[in-house]
Amino acid sequence: MSDEKIREEKVVTTGPTVSSMFAPDQENLVDPGYKTDNDFERCIQCGYCRNVCRVYSITFSERDYAGGRNRILKALSKKEIDFDKEEIIPSIYQCMLCGHCRTVCPVGIDLLEVFQNYRRTVVRKGVLPEKLGILKNSILTNKNPFLESGTDRYNWCDSETCKEGYDAYQRGVERTRKIESGELKPSDIDEHLVGYFVGCTSSYRNNELSTATCRILEKLGVKFILFPDEYCCGSVMFRTGLEDDAVQLVKYNTEMIKKLGVNELVFSCAGCFSTFTTEYPQFVGELGFELSHLVQFVPKIVKQKGLKIRYTKRTKEDPMIITYHDPCHLGRYCGVYDEPRELMNMIEGVKFIEMKHNREMSLCCGAGGGVRALYGEISVNIASNRLDETVACWEDINEDRLKEAIESDAEVLVSACVFCKNNLHLAASRTKPDLPVIDLSMILEDCEFY
């Protein structure tokens, strides 16, 4: 058997044994079509979800995994316990909404739906952590959660720092003007028009992602625009129980995009992508334009145009060895597992190796569901555990013939979500400063498409 084959077989793809008994289809106990607001009632307290919950692995508190939270919900609904704000808030918000519990639940409870319902209900009762109240006000006022001015959204793409973004922004301004003046109608446009929805985090905090994305689209020869009037997608509001306030953003963004006659919307942010994919259609029906994350869009265009990809900083003989952290919002939320792997395997000069826990059994980075904002230390501890696994992955790889490449300072942890990247990077800066953590777009930016 080849070394390549041996390495593939050593990769564990199903996670802990106890979970893989059921994951991921849960055929044995699921009653198809069962769905009520009280889905938590069906919890049988089997505890499978406790084995995979990263919060529980840090706090060891019964209220911090799905089964324990279901017990609280049952007790509340039967009025066996009082709704005590101080006690209940941590049981609601100390959860990343990563969906790992949903993957392993043998009963098939949609735990993300249960927990988001729970959050929405308590917010309607007027209970909201102070930090989330500030975030809500900023989104409603400034259209971003960072207390930044709405007019500063495109400061990252002036003609010197990112010419490709600047030109796309100008195209967006011009198209908006023509459509609003009646000079052009969306139905008049016969080309396949791509819009890049940048999102708040890449606009205000991590513009290396938005800059890289614009450069990649330009290199691929894609005609695209930016949206001068883009608002926050509402992801953080849906996750934190503020759905009633998010609906106005859903309606606004959908109309704003449709009005310009865009055929396909591309995202570099996994959170925006999953919100458009899973939440938007619930409120506005069919969107009328396609949705693609960059890790789907790039391999699609490369195949359509018959291109190849070469990473310019390394060679086929001396590749950069990378491993991939599946973001919850791309993977468990939207089922995007194959395309990023296909993409990484297309790149000459890069060698992709799986981590032990991957795809639907990937471990959460600790950033989602408001945990990063509300419980920073828990979030970073969870991210550190994920880094330990990355290093373990390299140690394992070290045993085989890739040892030489790895010892040449090649190990890099890659993700396709800005929140995962930021949280893992923060943990790395504290505990493993030699481990680079980057977004996949950073590698693509240094690629040739030919």
Give the separation between CA 244 and CA 124, rounded to whole angstroms.
9
- Work out whether 145 is an interface residue with ligand SF4 (CB under 6 A): no
Q: Which of 97, 347, 361, 427 binds ligand SF4 (CB under 6 A)?
A: 97
Q: How far is the CB of 214 from ligand SF4 (least distance, A)?
A: 33
- Work out whether 21 is an interface residue with ligand SF4 (CB under 6 A): no
- Work out whether 45 is an interface residue with ligand SF4 (CB under 6 A): yes
Q: Which of 73, 92, 98, 322 binds ligand SF4 (CB under 6 A)?
A: 98
Q: How far is the CB of 96 from ligand SF4 (least distance, A)?
A: 4
Q: Which of 23, 43, 270, 405 binds ligand SF4 (CB under 6 A)?
A: 43
**CB-wise, 116 or 138, nearer to ligand SF4?**
116
Give the separation between CA 336 and CA 441, rounded to whole angstroms.
16
Give the separation between CA 71 and CA 74, rounded to whole angstroms.
5
Annotate 335-382 with three-state secondary structure.
CCCHHHHHHHHHEECEEEECCCCCHHHCCCCCCCCCHHHHCHHHHHHH
Contacts to ligand SF4 from residues 253-282, by CB under 6 A: none
Q: How far is CA 443 from the centre of its chain?
A: 18
Task: Provide the mask over 101-120, with x wherever binding to ligand SF4 is found by CB under 6 A and - wherever it is not.
Answer: x--xx-x-x-x---------
- Work out whether 65 is an interface residue with ligand SF4 (CB under 6 A): yes
Number of residues that bind ligand SF4 (CB under 6 A): 28
Q: How far is the CB of 120 from ligand SF4 (least distance, A)?
A: 16
- Work out whether 380 is an interface residue with ligand SF4 (CB under 6 A): no
**CB-wise, 106 or 172, nearer to ligand SF4?**
106
**CB-wise, 52 or 309, nearer to ligand SF4?**
52
Q: How far is the CB of 73 from ligand SF4 (least distance, A)?
A: 11
- Max CA-CA distance within the chain? 67
Angle between helices 111-124 and 243-259 (to 10 degrees): 110
- Work out whether 361 is an interface residue with ligand SF4 (CB under 6 A): no
Residue in this structure with the two tokens 């089922």, named with its chain if needed: 335
- Work out whether 61 is an interface residue with ligand SF4 (CB under 6 A): no
Measured at CB, which residue is nearest to ligand SF4?
Answer: 67
- Contact between residue 237 and residue 249 where contact means Cβ atoms under 8 Å apart: yes
Residue in this structure with the two tokens 């390549």, named with its chain if needed: 4
Q: How far is the CB of 232 from ligand SF4 (least distance, A)?
A: 23
The torsion angles phi and psi of 287, rounded to 5 degrees, stand at -75, -35
Q: Which of 96, 157, 212, 347 binds ligand SF4 (CB under 6 A)?
A: 96
Q: Which of 23, 39, 63, 99 binds ligand SF4 (CB under 6 A)?
A: 99
**CB-wise, 364 or 373, nearer to ligand SF4?**
364
- Work out whether 100 is an interface residue with ligand SF4 (CB under 6 A): yes
**CB-wise, 98 or 194, nearer to ligand SF4?**
98
Tokens of 276: 């458009």
- Work out whether 47 is an interface residue with ligand SF4 (CB under 6 A): yes
List contacts with ligand SF4 (CB under 6 A): 43-49, 52-55, 65-67, 70, 95-101, 104-105, 107, 109, 111, 364
